[in-house]
Chains A and B, each alone.
Chain A
Amino acid sequence: MASTDINVGTHTHDDHHHDHHDDHHEELNFFTKYVFSQDHKIIARQFLVTGVLWAVIGVAFSVLFRLQLGWPDESFPILETLLGGWAEGGKLDPEFYYALVTMHGTIMVFFVLTAGLSGTFSNLLIPLQIGARDMASPFMNMLSYWFFFIAGVIMLISLFIQTGPASGGWTAYPPLSALPTASSGSGLGMTLWLASMSMFVVSSLLGGLNYVATILNMRTKGMTMMRLPLTIWAFFFTAVLGVLSFPVLLSACILLIFDRHMGTSFYLSDIWIQGELLTNSAGEIIEGGSPILYQHLFWFLGHPEVYIVILPAMGIVSHVMATNAKKPVFGYHAMVYSIMAITVLGFLVWAHHMFLSGMNPFAGSVFTLFTLLIAVPSAVKVFNWITTLWKGNINFTPAMMFSIGFVSLFISGGLTGIVLGNPALDIGYHDTYYVIAHFHIVMAMAAGFGMFAGIYHWFPKLFNGRMMNANMAYLHFWVTFIGSYCIFWPMHYLGEAGVPRRYFSFSEFDFANGFADLNIFISVAAIVVFFAQFLFIINFFYSIFAGKKMEKLNPWGSNSLEWTTPIVPGHGNWVGKIPEVFRWPYDFSKDGHEITPQTTSEKDLEDIPAVKRIPTR
């Protein structure tokens, strides 16, 4: 076992004579090194590559259903080639349209933006940036990836079964998701969805507990909590959110499994379907359950989930911005406390998804209060990012481009949250395209941009000191950035006109039918952005094997610890002693020193001559 020569858990930071060397990997074969690896860096790669592959599938699904929405009267022979019976004559079957919508949501939220983003960067950066040789439990960490893998395999299988994958929306509200007679996707597809989600919860818990334990216990000497990079603070609170909320999703799934297979009625009551009264196998009438209970359980995870997705992106962006503007993150403490505030408030707002579910309206007004209060820490973060740029010295690396794009998207999408969080306005906007525009910009696009920023920035640490091609990255950025706005901004207008989401076709309604031009525009933009992602994917896989080699240890001029490891760090990260930390990671442009790595002591600093440059005032 790879763990035998590491025993990371027992090491302390002042372990001087640690015999960790790059060469220890001789003992590992291909299988233990790259497949069932317990090295956090390899596990990060596994999360990332799996996440990227799922992203291709998830985004491709959105292109398929955008074809239907953009050109409802056309037929696309390629759809029949790809999907067979689900698109006879080149036209999507409504049932499969809803399956695509459901799978798009599930895949993007859980597999790409939770596992792919938080899984990748928490694994990569927590040990590297706090100065640890690996996670608290490398074995649990390995299990976390493999449970995610199993969840993915189950979901993938569900795409190929005869009745089709789950089609009740990514929220899987019962009774639709509980009754196989209500929709063909609620048959085996839904069973597999529930199984997959359960595996995913396990994966997320194994990862999250590990992240929390590692951050609290394994920081190197001198790395106090207030010297942690903001990335680590973000991963910490992300893990706390996940650990406290994912189990609730599991309970929701388990009760739904009972309702589906064991004749219980947690969520079901008084149902007449397919010409019969719903009874259990003993012939008793199913009554007394509440579909709203499921919504409460689901959104108790579902809302924190959006912060699980966005917080890591916020951390990455804060760190990348400071590094490339060569300026300290403005208001480090305020940034930490605002993440904390978002975490706490994030638990108290779930029912704003349910204003019109039939829940007591008074409860709705309480949730309004907490929902709009989240605007306060969010505003603090935005203004702090902007002030970080003010009087900076900005080098537009690809990661920096995506970070600036992130802030723009976060502002645009966040502001419409103030509209939707108001229940009086939500009556009109609820379940319309306004909501689609809001959450795609603020959560999906912004988190995606955070993920891209992270990949471009830490690619050399992920893949053996190789760099991605920057020119491709700039092109990728601009098409994606402008394209994202072109896709999602017009959806606000559809929402303003009241056009409901999850409509296979708008032609049945006069009020929704007048926007053919807008829908074509959105679909074209979606297709362009989809293909533009291949600029990234080709660059990504090409650079893994043949990218330009990193020449300096610290290519972006960062202060944090991960760049003090060798260009190709072995399992254990540092050769010899783990470096000691003397300062916070954002001493940029202080006292005539453009960068001052965390490992530089005051005494070391005296020996380094200040640069001859004009300090901006």
Chain B
Amino acid sequence: MYSLIGILAVALLILILFQLAKAGEYLGLLKGEKEANDRNNQVQATLFLGTLVFGMIGIFWSAWYYSDAFLFLRTPASEHGGAVKNMYFWTLGAILPIFVLTHALLFGFAYIYKKDDSKLSFYYPENNKLELIWMAVPAVVMVFLVLEGMRNWLKIMGPVPEDRTVLVIEATAQQFKWDLRFSGLDGKLGGKSVQLMDPENGNPWGQDWDDKANYDDFFAKDSIVLPVNVPVLVKINSLDVLHSFYLPDFQVKMDAVPGIPTQFWFTPIKTTEQRRVELNQPDYNYELACAELCGKAHFNMRRELFIVEQDQYEDWVKRQEPLYKTLKASASLEEEVEESDETIAAEY
């Protein structure tokens, strides 16, 4: 009902405006077309000038007002976040002055050069020197941004430096959840294939039980916990449609593609605790989201992520239970489990 009244009110308003506009047309004819036109040019030119002034004020004020939420303005939570942040400032430094300058010229000229019937425009069809300048200057700036961007990009996407130990984890997406697998004590993720999947018999992710590296792999149950200052290589895959592994705080995003494994490595440098103090938000949490449309609950694939000190991480790992171990009770695997227990004991 309210919507109906609202729509009727809007329709009425538009009709009134239409009548006024028609009346204005006749009024213009009465007053003389030239005079009406001159006045109109004055009005529109002034409005453009006003738009320039108030628009710029509005834009910069609102940007400042919301700047607390800008991820790039925070101290980076990941190692590569620092390089990306510099890139962000370089880019802003290039585009903001251009934005202000071109708008000032555009609306300024619109205001200054409004129609004057006693004048004729300046016939000025070309000037190759000017064209060259505004081709060369952007080209130089772009080349700089391209080189700097490529350098950072290839570094971020490149392999983890060999002198650093890396923690390999695996993110598996499906409608509509993320499952994170950790390699356990052996530091190796076991083999896994969609063709081995058998949720009814306790193998919901298709782990290959012939691969002993799987015996100590575990899936994070509630929260995902990672140690600070250790490079983490996330192997990303999907079981059904496209998803995207997205950690907003860490500048991490990579599509999960069924059939084609992808990966992203990053080094968290702020623990959750440190971040909470820094932002003065005692219940702040790092979050994992999906950033590629994957169906009706795409907006609801949340996991929490805790970055902790190394010893806390090790404590957490000890408390986790590998899927294989859980299956011990299962009759179908009993024999194998006993056998494998011996193997594990032998290895460690």
| Chain A residue nearest to B116 in the complex (CB) | A393
**A195 at interface by CB-CB < 8 Å:** no
Task: Tell me the chain A residues, 598-617 only, with Cβ under 8 Å from chain B.
Answer: 611, 613-617
Determine whether A419 belongs to the interface, using a CB cutoff of 8 Å to chain B: yes
Q: How far is the CB of B279 from chain A (nearest CB, A)?
A: 11
Q: Which residue of A lies closest to B291 (CB)?
A: A431
- Give the size category of B's interface with A: 35 or more
B interface residues with partner A (beta carbon < 8 Å)? 1, 3-4, 10-11, 14-15, 17-18, 20-22, 24-25, 37, 40-41, 44-45, 47-48, 51, 55, 59, 62-63, 66, 69-72, 83-84, 87-88, 91-92, 94-95, 98-99, 102-103, 105-107, 109-110, 113-127, 130-131, 134-135, 138-139, 142, 145-146, 149-150, 152-154, 156-158, 174-175, 193-195, 197, 199, 206, 239-242, 244, 246, 248-249, 251-255, 257-260, 262, 284-285, 287, 289-300, 302
How far is B239's CA from A373's CA once the two chains are assembled, in angstroms? 38
Q: Is the CB of B25 within 8 A of A173?
A: no
List the B residue with the shortest CB-CB distance to A288: B259
Q: Taking the complex as formed, is A534 at the interface, i.e. its CB lies under 8 A from any CB of chain B?
A: yes
Given A496-B70, A518-B66, decide whether A509 and B289 contact each other with a Cβ distance below 8 A: yes
Indicate if the CB atoms of B257 and A358 lie closer than 8 Å.
yes
Q: A334-B131, A471-B24, A614-B120 are in contact. Are A356 and B195 (CB under 8 A)?
A: no
Contacts of A554 in B (CB 8 A): none
* Inter-chain contacts of B109 with A (CB < 8 A): 386, 389-390, 392
Query: How long is the Cα–Cα vector from A290 to B261 in the complex, in angstroms?
Result: 11
Q: How far is the CB of A288 from chain B (nearest CB, A)?
A: 8
For A497, the closest partner residue in chain B by CB is B69
Query: Majority SS of interface residues in chain B?
Result: helix
Distance of A383 Cα from B135 Cα, bound (Å): 10
Is A257 on the interface with B (CB-CB < 8 A)? no
Taking CB atoms and an 8 Å cut-off, the chain A residues in 314-328 that contact chain B are: 325-328
**Do A472 and B125 touch (CB < 8 A)?**
no
Tell me the minimal C-beta distance from B218 to chain A in angstroms. 21
Q: Top 7 closest A-B pairs, CB basis?
A: A269-B259, A498-B248, A361-B157, A78-B3, A471-B21, A391-B122, A358-B262
Interface check A475, CB cutoff 8 A: yes
When each residue 362-393 of chain A gets 1 if its CB lies under 8 Å from chain B and 0 otherwise, what string results? 10110011001101100110111111011111
The chain B residue with its CB closest to the CB of A424 is: B152
Tell me if A12 counts as interface (CB < 8 A to partner B): no
Where the two chains meet, the residues of A that have a C-beta atom closer than 8 Å to any C-beta of B are 76-78, 94-95, 98, 167-169, 173-176, 179, 182-184, 268-273, 275, 277, 285, 287-292, 325-334, 356-358, 361-362, 364-365, 368-369, 372-373, 375-376, 379-380, 382-387, 389-396, 401, 404, 407-408, 411-412, 415-416, 418-419, 422-425, 427-428, 430-432, 469-472, 474-475, 478, 481-482, 485, 489-490, 492-493, 496-498, 500, 502-506, 508-512, 514-515, 518, 531, 534-535, 538-539, 542, 548, 586, 588-592, 594, 611, 613-617
Chain A positions within 8 Å of B257 at CB level: 291-292, 357-358
**B121→A503 contact, CB < 8 A:** no
Residues of A within 8 A of B138 (CB): 375-376, 379
Tell me the minimal C-beta distance from A115 to chain B in angstroms.
25
Asked if A291 contacts B123 (CB within 8 A), the reply is no
For A288, what are the chain B residues with a Cβ–Cβ distance below 8 Å?
259
**Separation in Å of the B334 CB from the closest CB of chain A?**
26
- A361-B154, A392-B122, A492-B63 given; 7 more Cβ-contact pairs under 8 Å: A173-B293, A175-B240, A330-B125, A386-B105, A425-B149, A472-B17, A531-B14
Are A496 and B71 in contact (CB-based, < 8 A)?
yes
Decide: B122 and A502 in contact? CB cutoff 8 A. Answer: no
Residues of chain B lying within 8 A (CB to CB) of residue A326:
120-121
Question: Known interface pairs A270-B258, A392-B113. Does A428 touch B84 (Cβ–Cβ under 8 Å)?
Answer: yes
Looking across the interface, which residue of chain A has its beta carbon closest to that of B73? A496
Selected A-B contacts with CB under 8 Å, 24 pairs: A272-B206, A273-B239, A334-B131, A361-B154, A368-B150, A372-B145, A382-B102, A383-B134, A394-B45, A395-B115, A411-B102, A415-B98, A419-B88, A419-B95, A422-B153, A424-B83, A424-B84, A424-B149, A425-B84, A471-B24, A509-B302, A511-B249, A531-B10, A531-B14
CB pair B127 A356 closer than 8 Å: no
Q: Is the CB of B152 within 8 A of A176?
A: no
Are A168 and B293 interface neighbours, CB within 8 A?
Answer: yes
**A358-B254, A372-B146, A422-B87 given as contacts; is B41 within 8 A of A395 (CB)?**
yes
Q: Which residues of B contact A514 (CB under 8 A)?
A: 69
Contact between B130 and A292, CB atoms less than 8 A apart: no
A590 to B116, CA, bound (A): 17
Q: Choose one: B62, B149, B258; the contact of A271 (CB below 8 Å).
A: B258
- A383 and B133 alpha carbons, distance in the complex (Å): 10
Whether A419 contacts B291 in the complex (CB less than 8 A), given A368-B149, A393-B121, comes out as no
Q: Closest CB of chain A to B174's CB: distance in Å? A: 7
Q: A78-B3, A357-B255, A412-B99 are in contact. Are A615 and B299 (CB under 8 A)?
A: no
A123 to B156, CA, bound (A): 49
Q: In the complex, what distance in Å separates the CA atom of A221 from the CA atom of B15? A: 48
CB pair B51 A482 closer than 8 Å: yes
Contact A389 B110 (CB under 8 A): yes
CB distance from B236 to the nearest CB of A (A): 8
Q: Are A183 and B295 in contact (CB under 8 A)?
A: yes
Contact A493 B157, beta carbon cutoff 8 Å: no
Are A393 and B47 in contact, CB atoms less than 8 angstroms apart?
A: no
Chain A hits for B63, CB < 8 A? 492-493
Note all chain A residues with C-beta closer than 8 A to B107: 404, 408
Closest Cβ neighbor of A482 among chain B residues:
B51
Kindly report which residue of chain B lies nearest to residue A485, judged by CB atoms. B55
Report how far A235 CA is from B155 CA in the complex, Å.
42
* In the complex with contacts A269-B259, A270-B259, A271-B239, A418-B296 CB distance below 8 A: no
Select B145's contact among A94, A362, A422, A490, beta carbons within 8 Å: A422
Query: Which B residues are in CB contact (< 8 Å) with A77?
Result: 1, 3
Interface contact B253-A175, CB-CB below 8 Å: no
Report Cα–Cα, A292/B258, bound state, in Å: 10
Q: In the complex, A356 Cα to B150 Cα: how many Å?
A: 14
**Contacts A358-B262, A471-B20, A548-B25 given: A502-B293 contact, CB under 8 Å?**
yes
Q: Are A408 and B149 in contact (CB under 8 A)?
A: no
Complex formed: what's the CA distance from A205 to B146 in Å?
Answer: 35
Q: Which residues does chain B contribute within 8 Å of A419, judged by CB atoms?
A: 88, 91-92, 95
- Per a CB cutoff under 8 Å, which of A385, A387, A393, A469 touches B22? A469
Chain B, Cβ-Cβ closest to A360: B157
Question: Assuming the A-B contacts A182-B240, A475-B21, are A98 and B69 also in contact, with contact meaning beta carbons closer than 8 angstroms in the complex?
Answer: no
Residues from chain B with a CB closer than 8 A to the CB of A424 are: 83-84, 87, 149, 152-153, 156
Contact B113 A390, beta carbon cutoff 8 Å: yes
A512, B289: Cα distance in complex, Å: 10
Flag if A511 contacts B248 (CB, 8 Å). yes
Q: Is the CB of A588 within 8 A of B44?
A: no
Q: How far is the CA of A589 from the CA of B14 in the complex (A)?
A: 40
Q: Which residues of A contact B119 (CB under 8 A)?
A: 393, 613-616
Q: Which residues of B contact A534 (CB under 8 A)?
A: 10-11, 14
Q: Does B91 contact A394, Cβ atoms closer than 8 Å? A: no
A238 → chain B, closest Cβ, in Å? 23
CA distance A432 to B197 in the complex (A): 33
Q: Which chain A residue has the least Cβ–Cβ distance from B23?
A: A471
CA distance A589 to B45 in the complex (A): 21
> What is the distance, in angstroms, from B234's C-beta to the closest C-beta of chain A?
13
A394 touches B114 (CB 8 A): yes
Contacting pair A616 B174 (CB below 8 A): no
The answer to whether A98 touches B293 (Cβ under 8 A) is yes
Distance in angstroms between the alpha carbons of A327 and B195 in the assembled complex: 69
Contact A332–B125 (Cβ < 8 Å): yes
